[in-house]
Amino acid sequence: MAITLKPLRDQVIVVTGATSGNGLAIVEEAVKRGVAVDATARNEEALEALRGRLSADGGRIAICAADVSDMAAVERVAAVAIEAFGGFDSWVNNAGAGTYGTLEQVPVADHRRVFDVNYFGVLHGSLVAARHLRGRGGAIINVGSILSDRAIVEQGPYCATKHAVQALTDTLRMELEQEGAGISVTLIKPGAIDTPFPEHARNFMDQPPRLPPPLYAPSVVADAVLFACETPRRTLYAGGGGLLLSLLSRAAPRVSDKIMELVGIVVQQKPDDPGDPARRDNLYEPRVDALRGSQDVHARKSSTALQAQKVHPAVLMLGVVGAGIAVAISRPKNITP
């Protein structure tokens, strides 16, 4: 079965992690464009407020409080979409959790929790979505990260899950293509996005965490996700800064290692601006959710790199070649690739 995706305005979309950051931006923009949305997150109070606000403006939205690490809960999310709208056309696996600290500092139980949400949550959503969409067609969009390509110090568990999500997404795509299921599978790789992630993450560093610049607004991720809902793409990078870091890592991994070792901690700490304490540490229980982070940062509202990828996916290959040539010319002689 060939992949044929409906126009966005005719779709029903399921979004996990819908009450904060990228997920909230996706829901708001989708409803604004006339899409029917099944929004899910752990924070039931925030879900109720979101439904009340968007439905008051004529938006079509259903909600389901669920923890994506629980397969039965994810199946309930699908049931809500079927009951409210007769089914769904795209499923967005966006929910995520994280920690800051070295691999030794983070307790093993917290490593497992990050995997339960970031990897098994995506697996649960992908399996449930594929079961529903198989033979009907539709899209599964997984929100990974540039850290799917490039690990960074102080975020080892999160990086590991995003590498795993990339492998899961590639495997899912091949299996569904092999059987002719008619399902598009896309991996979105955001760079640093101005969301509450640094405040929500459990922190073992001695200073408050932040996201390293350049930052982009969550609307950039929403743009990429909604584009993928109606346009088959393998991968979309949301933010040119993240794309450049990924390309550098591929072209010169040891150079990238050295950069991370030298500045990786400093660029992820913000001693004078810890953010809102009411949002701190949502690893096991929801905290106050919001669209943007509360720290004083500058975030770009658009991404030229994303718009170029939307025009033609070959932009990525050109970037890889260009980065490789640039690094080959400028690589320090005392660093082995």
The domain made up of 8-330 has a fold known as Rossmann fold (3.40.50)
**What is residue 118's predicted lDDT score, i.e. its pLDDT?**
98
Of 158, 216, 237, 284, which one is the catalytic site residue? 158
Q: Is 158 a catalytic residue?
A: yes
Lowest mean pLDDT among 111-125, 165-179, 205-219, 317-331: 317-331
194: which 2 tokens? 């101005």
What pLDDT, on a 0 to 100 scale, did the predictor assign at position 328?
45
Of 77-81, 197-201, 298-302, 311-315, minimum mean pLDDT range: 311-315
Q: Cα 116 to the chain's mean position, in Å?
A: 15
Strand ranges inside the chain, DSSP E: 12-16, 36-41, 61-65, 90-93, 99-100, 138-143, 183-190, 202-203, 215-216, 235-238, 299-300
Q: How many CB atoms lie within 10 A of CB 113?
A: 19
Point out which residues pair with 141 in neighbouring strands.
92, 186
Residues 6+ apart with CB under 8 A from 102: 153, 154, 156, 204
Does residue 153 contact residue 265 with C-beta atoms inside 8 Å?
yes
Check residue 85 and give its pLDDT: 98
CA distance 180 to 174: 10
Asked if the model's pLDDT at residue 323 lies above 90, the reply is no
190-217: per-residue pLDDT in tens? 999 999 999 999 999 999 999 999 999 9
Q: Are 96 and 198 in contact (CB under 8 A)?
A: no
Q: Give per-residue pLDDT as tens, 16-51.
A: 999 999 999 999 999 999 999 999 999 999 999 999
DSSP per-residue letters across 149-217: T---TTBHHHHHHHHHHHHHHHHHHHHHHHHT--EEEEEEEE-SB-SSHHHHSEE-SSS-B-PPSSEE-
Q: Are 274 and 206 contacting, i.e. CB atoms less than 8 angstroms apart?
A: no
